[in-house]
Chain A
């Protein structure tokens, strides 16, 4: 039996924070554990096989947390798992009542808005790249060689798709901002 499992683009398969948390929880219940999140975990994440555990995970985007951030969560019994870009991850083992880090709807919505903001940064970068390549094709078509043009068209299509996807992600989180 394999004791490692790698998942690609996990953050793009479960784009709503609450869904990402539930997915991690299901994995842990099946005995697949992740003990540390890294900058690029949204692209590649590796789970290790272990005992099935009942964990509650928390996805909390904080671009520049204050220095009491970690201590506050730890005091409440959360275990820090690191950060994936600006999203910090926490987990807590539980038996009966599922613990919540965001105990009122206001803070759940605020968490989801912070997520949308984080996505919007990448969205804007890709949008600028779209405009840049489109601008080259429109304004300087003759100064580009044929291969250059082909490459730019491919890049333009690629970044356009990413921009549209990220836009859709933001809308989806917005629609589900209450959970």
Chain B
């Protein structure tokens, strides 16, 4: 998928996608992603098995993440340069939201 197509498909991004991509800056399998996100968000977001499974399938199919290797039927993923690019653009958007929200708190 080209960067342009990926932008259309993923930006703005759901929290689920954002945190999965963020977690995959390091190699992780599905369950480890859930644990990592739970820790990062203080258990506000607890990803479900079905959500993780289908999100990983979608991200892999579109080339935002890739399989590094398999361990006992579990796939281990990592983010691709395309995924990093999209994650960065989303981060810029979130930073803008953050600036706009300042003063409300």
Asked if A72 meets B51 with Cβ closer than 8 Å, knowing A66-B57, A104-B14, the reply is no
Query: Which chain A residues lie closer than 8 Å to B14 at the CB level?
Result: 104, 106
**Is B16 a contact of A71 with CB atoms below 8 Å?**
no
Asked if A107 meets B54 with Cβ closer than 8 Å, knowing A68-B73, A73-B49, A100-B48, the reply is yes
Contact with B along A78-93 (1 / 0, CB 8 A): 1000000000001000
Whether A75 sits at the interface, judged by CB under 8 Å, is yes
Whether B46 sits at the interface, judged by CB under 8 Å, is yes
C-alpha gap A99/B48 in the complex (Å): 8
Residues from 57 to 78 in B contacting A, C-beta threshold 8 Å:
57, 70, 72-75
C-alpha gap A176/B11 in the complex (Å): 26
Whether A76 sits at the interface, judged by CB under 8 Å, is yes
- A side interface size, CB within 8 A: 24
Residues from 91 to 150 in A contacting B, C-beta threshold 8 Å:
99-104, 106-107, 110-111
Asked if A72 meets B55 with Cβ closer than 8 Å, knowing A101-B50, A102-B48, A103-B46, the reply is no
Asked if A75 meets B50 with Cβ closer than 8 Å, knowing A70-B73, A103-B45, the reply is no
C-alpha gap A73/B47 in the complex (Å): 12
Whether B91 sits at the interface, judged by CB under 8 Å, is no
Closest chain B residue to A70, Cβ basis: B73
**Is B73 a contact of A102 with CB atoms below 8 Å?**
no
**Is A76 a contact of B73 with CB atoms below 8 Å?**
no
C-alpha gap A70/B52 in the complex (Å): 12
Query: Which chain A residues lie closer than 8 Å to B45 at the CB level?
Result: 103
Interface centre among B15, B16, B46, B54 (most CB of A within 10 A): B54
Query: Which chain B residues lie closer than 8 Å to A100 at the CB level?
Result: 46, 48
Query: Which chain B residues lie closer than 8 Å to A67 at the CB level?
Result: 73
Q: Of A70, A75, A78, A107, which is within 8 A of B51 by CB?
A: A107
Whether B22 sits at the interface, judged by CB under 8 Å, is no
Whether B24 sits at the interface, judged by CB under 8 Å, is no
C-alpha gap A167/B51 in the complex (Å): 28
**Is A101 a contact of B48 with CB atoms below 8 Å?**
yes
Asked if A104 meets B16 with Cβ closer than 8 Å, knowing A68-B75, A71-B72, A76-B48, the reply is yes
How far in angstroms is the closest Cβ of chain B from A61? 11
Chain A residues proximal to chain B, CB less than 8 Å? 58, 60, 66-73, 75-76, 78, 90, 99-104, 106-107, 110-111
The 8 closest A-B pairs by CB, nearest first: A101-B50, A103-B48, A76-B49, A71-B73, A75-B31, A107-B51, A101-B48, A73-B49
